[in-house]
Amino acid sequence: MSQFKTNPITRRSFLRASGACLALPFLESFSFGKTASSYVAPKRMIFLGGGFGFTEDTFYPKQAGRFADIGLTEGLMPLKRHQDDFTMISNLTNLGATNPHGGSSSYLTGANVSGTPGKRFFNSISCDQVAAQHLGEDTRFSSLVLSAKEKSGLQNSGHGNGLSLSWNDSGNPLPGINQPIDLYHTIFEQQTGTRAELDNRLKKKESILDIVRVNASAMKRNLSTNDREKLDEYFQGVRQVELGLERQAKWANIPKPNAPFAEPIDQLIGEEEIKLMYDMIIVALQTDSTRVVTYRQPVCSLLVGIGVALQAHSLSHYGFSEPRKNASRERDKKCSELFAHFLDRLKEAKDSDGSRLYDNCIVSYGTNLRTGHQLKNLPAIVAGGGAKNLRKGEHIILSEKDTPLANYWLTLLQQADVPAKQFSHSTGNLPEILS
């Protein structure tokens, strides 16, 4: 009897049965039951976020229209080679954000984190995790959550106190991978030991969780209402750990991809850090390690890297200070330059069906604030060929001021074929940005 299983859902059974020891990318031949000519590469979603917004006078276009006709602003000029491939949308407001110092806690969720009666803090699921529930079922990582830990002395990067841009379905923050070297090990480091040893390690972790659960259940009877809520939140986190262990077990026999470059040095900052994160995102998508990525990018260390001595927070209050405004403009151009580099890499990379990786991605780039501490009319830039119906190469000013940012997220989710009819406080999708 043949050792090869023909599971039409995933390629894991093929690799497991064949005893493969090579780390393979996502190949169309593993799409059992489909011919190479009919295979279509999966869609991916990438959410990139900064902090503190951009310079009002030199970043945002003043009129609607195609960039080829209205031109690009100073801050967007580094994107000129991609001007026919990205869209900027104006008049979006995150209705859940009420505190400009709240950072990016509600950027992808739309929740009013401090406005729920009886709760000190309350968040909801972020749109990237909604996408991960549907796009990440057959990948090693349902999503990759990336962040940045500003180096010592570089505080207040406009992101608030959250761990990343991502929040799970219980409204708890997901920890982000902060350093390129840690992402490198996450994607490429192979499991050590035999399968029996791995199973034993997983069982020990599960046993510890069982003990914690039993002890806490007995303790819960003597707790106040507030403490019970805290304990419930804790166990929601425990459940996430359990799900992670289950996923580890499912992928234990499948080798990770081979690293295409050497381990990076530690303690990279600014531009070098962001570029390396971008490069590894490309590999993670090409090898189908994940199909959903969020990246909360560093702000303060980026300023240091371009020779700006000002703190990001003070820079956002540039007012009538020419030195601060000039520094803010330089920061804007560097951010656009790095984003253009990422689009270059997506267009250069080949996907499993021979198409450009770019053609199967939806990439959103933006921040939690517009300029300084303005909560309205957030910057929203979207690119990638995965949103087939998106109007591209233009600045679109929505007819309704303060259109819910959640409508934008819902539209992108639907373009990624996620079966969502509503997200957060959305009132519908955005037909104005679709062709």
pLDDT in tens, 201-236: 556 655 555 555 555 665 666 667 667 666 666 666
Tell me how far apart the alpha carbons of residues 175 and 155 are, in angstroms, rounded to a whole number: 18
Same domain, 45 and 34: no
Given 205, 236, 254, the domain boundary residue is: 254
Same domain, 250 and 262: no
| Chain mean position to CA 310 | 27
Its domain, for residue 33, covers 1-39
Same domain, 291 and 372: yes
**114, two tokens:** 């401090």
Same domain, 285 and 364: yes
Secondary structure letter of residue 100 according to DSSP: G
Same domain, 79 and 220: no
- Distances in Å between the alpha carbon of 392 and those of 67, 213, 381? 10, 51, 10
Q: What is the pLDDT of residue 61?
A: 98
Same domain, 247 and 153: no
Same domain, 318 and 184: yes
Same domain, 199 and 304: no
* Cβ pair 332, 303 in contact under 8 A: no
DSSP β-ladder status, 144-146 and 292-296: parallel
Q: What is the pLDDT of residue 231?
A: 63
Tell me how far apart the alpha carbons of residues 86 and 383 are, in angstroms, rounded to a whole number: 4
Amino acid identity at 161: N
Same domain, 328 and 387: yes
Same domain, 138 and 232: no
Q: What is the pLDDT of residue 342?
A: 98
Same domain, 22 and 150: no
Same domain, 151 and 87: yes
Given 254, 273, 304, the domain boundary residue is: 254
DSSP percent split of the chain into helix, strand, coil, nearest 5 = 40, 10, 50
Count of the separate structural domains present in the chain: 3
Given 254, 285, 305, the domain boundary residue is: 254
Q: What is the pLDDT of residue 104?
A: 86
Residue ranges of the chain with per-residue pLDDT less than 70: 1-38, 150-162, 191-223, 225-226, 228-249
Tell me how far apart the alpha carbons of residues 17 and 256 are, in angstroms, rounded to a whole number: 16
Three-class SS state of 282: helix
Q: What is the pLDDT of residue 78?
A: 98
| CATH classification at residue 166 | 3.40.720
**15, two tokens:** 């690799």
